[in-house]
Amino acid sequence: MSPSPAGARLVIDPDFAVGPVDPRLYGTFVEHMGRCVYTGIYEPGHPTADAAGFRGDVARLVRELGTGLVRYPGGNFVSGYHWEDGVGPFADRPRRLDPAWRSIETNQVGTNEFLGWSREVGVEPMLAVNLGTRGIDPARALVEYCNVPGGTAWSDLRVRHGVPEPHDVRLWCLGNEMDGPWQTGHKTATEYGRLAAQAGKAMRQVDPSIELVLCGSSNAEMPTFGSWEAEALRHAYDEVDHLSLHAYYEEKGGDQASFLASGAHMDAYIADVVATADHARAVRRARKRVTLSFDEWNVWYADRFPGERRLDLAETPRLIEDTYSVTDAVVVGDLLITLLRHADRVAIACLAQLVNVIGPIRSEPDGPSWRQATFHPFALTARYARGTVLCTEPTGPWIETARYGEVETLDAVVTWDEESGDLTVLAVNRDQREALPLRVVPRGLPGTYRMVEHLAIADPDPDATNTRERPDRVIPRRIEGGEVTGEGELTVELPALSWNLVRLTTRG
């Protein structure tokens, strides 16, 4: 650790804002993979199941999580998916081999079921179309099926399927990870860019109001990273609104310091993609600015995953059901801080996935559901980090990491709700051994603030997890001792290896 002050300092000023908090930053992801859909959100016969077969206990946790958006149905799954298999009478729906995850897809949950569930739990849907094994016409037809009120072949089919009102889906992904050699129907950037442009144009001919997401690189380590984005945008810039990013993080080789600094990598990744998108804009002399859709991100211990080709053919296999620790929760909370810090350019973000498959929620067939450790920083951030993200430049100590060099011990972001006057400070202490004193200095804010509460995810055992037997082993805990001084400065102590939420208000 380099020489530095004993504590950290954060100055906030409402005149220096990043941008508004879009509820779509708090998105998640439901893919037909493992037990995310079947025995996850959907399980007819479960004691809590509703008339449509969706689990009520999981739905309650989804609402508590506070997610504003859910991406569906994939993921790698979508590149081999025929959406027509998942509509109409259940008895007529075919059982298909899903080549992505080598499992049996029963198609008992499809477009109408998912969109009905999303309305029930109060989230906006984000649908992906298959540009791997399929193309323009099925994508155009799906928009017609979902969004046209009636009077056309596909919209009338939806009506005959028992859904008289259009679903009015606004957000659409033009395929998934099409740069990846593992993707069914993998394409070059030129092939994909041309197809995405034509598919997007056809989809907008059906509904001009939709928003379209172009596939960026599957991760920042792809050999074509940067050049893929530039070439795909060269063909499709005029037809799209957002460009996607995907990233997963895990602790490798016991290097916890680098793992805790994952947000530094995400920070740089976002900056690189913004630069590439803006270069494409400059080349075209375009007025429109493409924003980013970080529609897959999470902690995922991918080194433990055997790979798709080793999977046994099964109907509902248990795939990548990672059990998350306190340390994982701190990293997830830090990645949320990073996304908020870029709220001016990151318009959409999806924690992947929602239930069982590396999800913040776990469930058992015919059994209980519970919150993973990662559930809590997401839920609290979604609940309280609202309004406007303010520019913040923390000062304080630094930590040396093997992967990212020197990183700040403190990572933080502040949101201000101008209507209520409430401030929310989100902060991570990356030091694994020492608590970190923090001073928050407000400038130019109306009123006198008082601290409402300081909650933290921290534990003497950083490997502690929530399980079926102990579902509340890891929960947010109230931290005492913080105060607002007569000068209006907030002083708190952030526990070692912790994610923190501090709420301030001017209200009585």
Strand, helix or coil for residue 88: coil
Residue type (1 letter), 130: N
How far, in whole angstroms, is CA 323 from its chain's centroid?
18
Told to judge if 487 belongs to the known catalytic residues of this protein, a careful annotator would answer: no
The helix or strand, by DSSP H or E, that contains position 110, with its residue range, turns out to be: none
Strand, helix or coil for residue 350: strand
Q: Which of 31, 177, 231, 239 is catalytic?
A: 177
Please tell me the distance from the alpha carbon of residue 152 to that of residue 410, in angstroms, as a whole number.
56
Strand, helix or coil for residue 276: helix
What interhelical angle do 375-384 and 326-341 show, nearest 10?
30
Task: Give Cα separations from 469 to 55, 59, 370 (angstroms).
Answer: 20, 21, 10
Strand, helix or coil for residue 288: coil
Q: Starting from the edge strand earliest in sequence, which strands make up the sheet with 498-505, in order?
A: 17-20, 388-390, 410-416, 423-429, 498-505, 450-457, 477-478
CB-based contacts of 501, cutoff 8 Å, min separation 6: 377, 380, 381, 384, 424, 425, 426, 453, 454, 455, 456, 476
Told to judge if 493 belongs to the known catalytic residues of this protein, a careful annotator would answer: no
Q: Which of 239, 296, 408, 493 is catalytic?
A: 296
Q: What sign has the CA pseudo-torsion 86, 100, 58, 44?
A: positive
Closest CA to 179 of 127, 139, 231: 231
Please tell me the distance from the alpha carbon of residue 214 to that of residue 229, in angstroms, as a whole number.
9
Please tell me the distance from the alpha carbon of residue 369 to that of residue 359, in angstroms, as a whole number.
12
Residues that are catalytic = 177, 296
